[in-house]
Amino acid sequence: MAFQGDSIYWVEVEKVVPNPFQPRREFDQTKLQELADSIRMYGVLQPLTVTRKEIQREDGTFYSEYELIAGERRLRASKLAQIAQVPVIIREGEQSEQEKLELAIIENLQREDLNAVDRAIAFKQLADQFGLSHAQVAKKVGRSREYVSNSIRLLGLPEHMLQSLKVGDMMEGHARTLLMLTDRPEEQEVVYKEILLKKLSVREVERIVRKIATDKVRKKNLGEFDANLIEFEKKFTETLGTRVQIQKTDFGGKLTIDYFSEDDLENILLRIKEEAAEQAPTQHEMVERLAAHTPLSVVAAAAPASEFAPEPLVVQPQTPPEPEILAAAATQPPQEPIPEPEPEIA
């Protein structure tokens, strides 16, 4: 059947092939099944957009094939619903690869079906493959140049962070803020993990990143920063799972540990205790260390009794004298004291 303007036709589902320039790569299977159930009950309410290609068979005859420009989600759901035909609008004339990609991007943008990563990939493909500037891409898709440029910049994040953005574990605002730490990958990774574990808001992440940027400027202004302190900061950060800063002062220094709740504080304290327990020497190790640097007498005094104490002195009990001997000794008269000799007179 046909309408005024673009004509709508019903074609067999198996004759519609996907758009090779489809920018959308992620399809939520649950939502796809929900759409399939709706199509099974009410049909496809919005036609797919296709181009028609005449393909010659080996026997010389021709058949029509329809290449999808927009509507892949509806096509997939229609196949799940096992319906025989779908409504399509056929774009007349040969469509260039650029036009197919442009139409697919625009259709997905209008329906807000693209996630931030797929959108960025599509914009970059349009710019790189067809030699377009960001301003030209923006004009074709109906967005601002800043919107296109900021989207493409997201692709500068590590792959695992892009995957988190794809599946919705973090928001686009989180990702944009993480880009500010591209030149500090260790701290970027720490902040990324805090986003996932602590469910930080975009505003909280912006505050953390601004503080990191301020510290970077401060250290640059101080000139050559102690490499040992930088290494200590990295080790503290890895051990405690949160950002740690060390600041030198005239009389020592200051250690700053970031936390966001009482639970965070308890976890940090627990990690410190666990680390201390792992690093603490055993009693035997302490004795060995003392023995290597201390005189033996001191080591013996500090060592456990089982290793250095002498054998215990066993005292045998004496047999008491017989009663007759005691009686005889009692009857003897006391002896007179022997007088001292008087000095002789010359």
SS3 50: strand
Q: How far apart are CA 123 and CA 140, in angstroms?
A: 10
Q: Three-class SS of residue 157? A: coil
Catalytic residue among 72, 102, 107, 194: 72
Cβ-count burial 206-238 (b if 16+ within 10 Å, e if not): bebbeebeebeeebeeeeeeeeeeeeebeebbe
Token pair of 204 as six digits: 């909280």
Tokens describing residue 22:
């489809």
Domain match, 2 and 92 both: yes
Residues 169 and 82 in one domain: no
User: Given 231, 246, 273, which residue is the final one in a domain?
Assistant: 231
Indicate if 72 belongs to the active site. Answer: yes
Residues in contact with 20: Cβ distance below 8 Å, sequence separation at least 6, in sequence order: 100
Distant-in-sequence, close-in-space partners of 68: CB < 8 Å, separation ≥ 6: 16, 17, 18, 19, 22, 48, 49, 50, 75
What pLDDT, on the 0 to 100 scale, is given for residue 308?
Answer: 47
Structural tokens at position 159: 């792959």
Q: What is the pLDDT of residue 346?
A: 44
End of a domain among 96, 111, 140? 96
Please report the pLDDT score of residue 226 as a whole number.
Answer: 66
Residue 85 buriedness (CB in 10 A; 0-12 / 13-18 / 19+) = middle
**Based on the domain organization, do 88 and 9 belong to the same domain?**
yes
Q: pLDDT (tens digit, 0 to 9) for every residue of the chain, 346 residues total?
A: 333 346 788 999 999 988 777 666 677 788 889 889 999 988 988 888 888 888 888 888 888 888 888 788 889 999 999 999 999 988 876 667 777 777 777 776 666 667 899 889 889 988 888 888 999 988 888 889 999 999 999 999 999 999 999 989 999 999 999 998 988 888 899 999 999 998 999 999 998 888 887 766 555 555 445 667 777 877 787 777 777 878 777 777 888 887 766 777 877 888 888 877 777 666 666 656 655 655 544 444 444 544 444 455 454 555 555 555 545 555 555 555 555 555 555 4
Residue at a domain's end among 170, 202, 231: 231
Q: What is the CATH number of the domain that holds 30?
A: 3.90.1530.30
Q: Is residue 293 part of a domain?
A: no
In a domain, 33, yes or no: yes
Residues 55 and 62 sit within 8 Å (Cβ to Cβ): yes
- Which residue's entry shows tokens 């936390």? 259
**3-state class (DSSP) for residue 238:** helix
In angstroms, the CA 178 to CA 184 distance is: 10
Type of residue found at 291:
A
**For the chain, what is the domain count?**
2
308 part of a folded domain: no
Q: Per the domain annotation, does 294 fall within a domain?
A: no
Residue 106 lies in a domain: no
Quote the domain boundaries for residue 164. 159-231
Number of residues in the chain? 346
| Beta-bridge mates of residue 86 | 11
Residue 46 within a domain: yes
Does residue 302 lie within any of the structural domains? no
The answer to whether residue 79 is domain-embedded is yes
What value, to the nearest 5°, has the Cα angle with vertex 180 and ends 179 and 185?
Answer: 75
Helix, coil or strand: residue 317 = coil
The predicted model scores a pTM of 0.52
- Position 284: which residue type? H
